[in-house]
Amino acid sequence: MTALAELLARRIAATGPITVAEYMVECLLHPAHGYYSTRDPFGVQGDFTTAPEISQMFGELAGLCLAGAWLDQGRPDGITLAEIGPGRGTLMADILRATRGVPGFHAALSVHLIEASPLLRARQQETLARFDVHWAESVTALPEAPLYLIANEFFDALPIRQFLRDANGWRERVVGLDGAALAFGLSAPAPLAALAHRLADTKPGDLVETCTAAQPIMAEIAGRIARHGGAALVIDYGDWHSLGDTLQALSQHGHIAPLARPGESDLTAHVDFEALALAAPEVAHSRLTPQGIWLERLGIAARAETLAQNLTGAALTSHLAAHRRLTHPSEMGSVFKAMAFHPKGTLPPPGFAA
Ligand code: SAH
């Protein structure tokens, strides 16, 4: 049993079952035992590898996409370049390196990162030591200015609640106890106004997920883009309109049961992009685009070829594998999706279709 499992079991014994969302928050961000609070989970040694950690090409192309949107919008001054959930800071470092050559872009921007984990904040500080970077507690603290923002594998880390439909309404999936061990259970059925719109596309026995934390975050981002201009790129695994249980735990690059090692495995859920779009009605959004197609439209093949020219042996083999991993439909190319938010009446950023 992990230290956090013992704490949670005691709490549940005292005050009753907790929601899946409460369980996720404790597992990911508990100050002493939370997954992101206590470790740097990325890379070969860690539990999972994100796209920017696989290849510099991801951040370079994402950076050029954001800079392209900035050029299309008439090169506004005093802009915010922001990332939510920046991990090791690798993605922002690649974005800044790739956009150095875009005339006026760096002079126009200030960099803002939103990170919940003090440990990862310190890591980002190291990676981005050469730049003047501001850390914000939440998106509400971002300046009222044109906002060019990226969120890669951020929304999947936000807590979700799960509801099982039955004949008499919805039963929430909760984490309770089976003896001393954590176990899933179901609350009593209740009609739920917030899920009324899911009655039409579900039947008894179906499970739906909601991510209430995503809505206010998306709304803050969209508000700035609607008022001042900018663009937000959201990249994550998920789909338009989610259905079914997508809660998953990763440890050392493999799946484990979500209740098996609380605090010591990463917990995520697929992102419901429709819900993000519904939270941002004052801006336009692009079509939901498979990551592989988005990167191909941005020119990953040509960039990969250029980089390959300087590589031989094992470095070349791993570069070719990284290109494939980011784009191939059987790897990250189609499970991961990208979507852009931009002001109404403007073009979607490069690589996206309206
Ligand atoms: N974007 C990075 C890292 C993705 S992992 C990359 O692509 O490599 C998720 C990141 O979100 C981590 O940095 C984690 O600490 C952060 N995070 C998780 N929940 C958060 C929250 N509620 N607020 C801010 N950051 C959060």
Those residues whose C-beta lies under 8 Å from the C-beta of residue 118, and which sit 6 or more positions away, are: 37
Report residue 143 as tokens.
Answer: 């300046």
Look at the alpha carbons of 93, 73, 149, 321 in this order and tell me if their dihedral is positive or negative.
negative
pLDDT tier for residue 40 given thresholds of 50, 70 and 90:
confident
pLDDT tier for residue 348 given thresholds of 50, 70 and 90:
very high
Domain assignment present for residue 202? The answer is no
pLDDT tens, position by position, 57-80: 999 999 999 999 999 999 999 999
Q: Please answer whether residues 287 and 352 qualify as being in contact, where contact means their C-beta atoms are separated by less than 8 angstroms.
A: yes
CA of 156 to the centre of ligand 1 (A): 9
pLDDT tens, position by position, 3-37: 999 999 999 999 999 999 999 999 999 999 999 88
Q: Closest ligand 1 atom, CA of 41?
A: 5
CA of 85 to the centre of ligand 1 (A): 3
Q: Closest ligand 1 atom, CA of 42?
A: 8
Q: Say whether pLDDT at 43 is over 80.
A: no
Encode 171-197 in three state secondary structure. Answer: EEEEEEEECCEEEEEECCCECCHHHHH
State the pairing for strand pair 169-178/161-166.
antiparallel
Q: Closest ligand 1 atom, CA of 114?
A: 24
CA of 88 to the centre of ligand 1 (A): 9
Which of 22, 24, 30, 36, when mutated, tests ligand 1's pocket best, judged by the most ligand atoms within 8 Å of its CB? 36
Q: Please answer whether residues 48 and 203 qualify as being in contact, where contact means their C-beta atoms are separated by less than 8 angstroms.
A: no
Domain assignment present for residue 247? The answer is yes
Residue at 97: amino acid letter = R
CA 33 to chain CA mean position, Å: 22
Residues 217-245 as b/e (b if ≥16 CB within 10 A, e otherwise) read bbebbbbbbbebbbbbbbbbbbeeebeeb
Closest among 257, 256, 267 to 183, alpha carbons compared: 257
Domain assignment present for residue 19? The answer is no
**pLDDT of the residue at 253:** 86
- Residue whose tokens read 């050469």: 130
CA of 161 to the centre of ligand 1 (A): 19
**pLDDT of the residue at 317:** 97
The whole-number average pLDDT for the span 275-301 is 97
Q: Say whether pLDDT at 44 is over 80.
A: no
Closest among 339, 84, 92 to 216, alpha carbons compared: 84
Q: Closest ligand 1 atom, CA of 36?
A: 15
pLDDT tier for residue 178 given thresholds of 50, 70 and 90:
very high
Domain assignment present for residue 315? The answer is yes
CA of 180 to the centre of ligand 1 (A): 31
**pLDDT of the residue at 34:** 94
CA of 168 to the centre of ligand 1 (A): 37
CA of 312 to the centre of ligand 1 (A): 34
Domain assignment present for residue 176? The answer is no
DSSP letters along 216-267, please? HHHHHHHHHHHHH-EEEEEEEEEESS--S---EEEETTEEE-TTTSTTTSEE
Which of 28, 39, 117, when mutated, tests ligand 1's pocket best, judged by the most ligand atoms within 8 Å of its CB? 117
CA distance 93 to 297: 22
The whole-number average pLDDT for the span 230-254 is 94
User: In this structure, what CATH number is given to the domain that contains residue 256?
Assistant: 3.40.50.12710
Q: Closest ligand 1 atom, CA of 29?
A: 19
Domain boundaries, position 73: 35-159+211-342
pTM: predicted TM-score of the whole model, two decimal places:
0.95
Total domains in the fold of the chain:
1
Domain assignment present for residue 201? The answer is no
Q: Which residues pair with 134 in a beta bridge?
A: 112
pLDDT above 70: percentage of residues in the chain: 100
Cα 313 to Cα 15, 303, 319, distances in angstroms: 59, 19, 10
- Residue whose tokens read 């739920």: 192
Q: Say whether pLDDT at 132 is over 80.
A: yes
CA of 344 to the centre of ligand 1 (A): 28
Write out residues with Cβ below 6 Å of ligand 1.
28, 36, 50, 52-53, 84-87, 91, 114-117, 120, 152-154, 157
Q: Closest ligand 1 atom, CA of 51?
A: 7
Domain assignment present for residue 190? The answer is no
Domain assignment present for residue 177? The answer is no
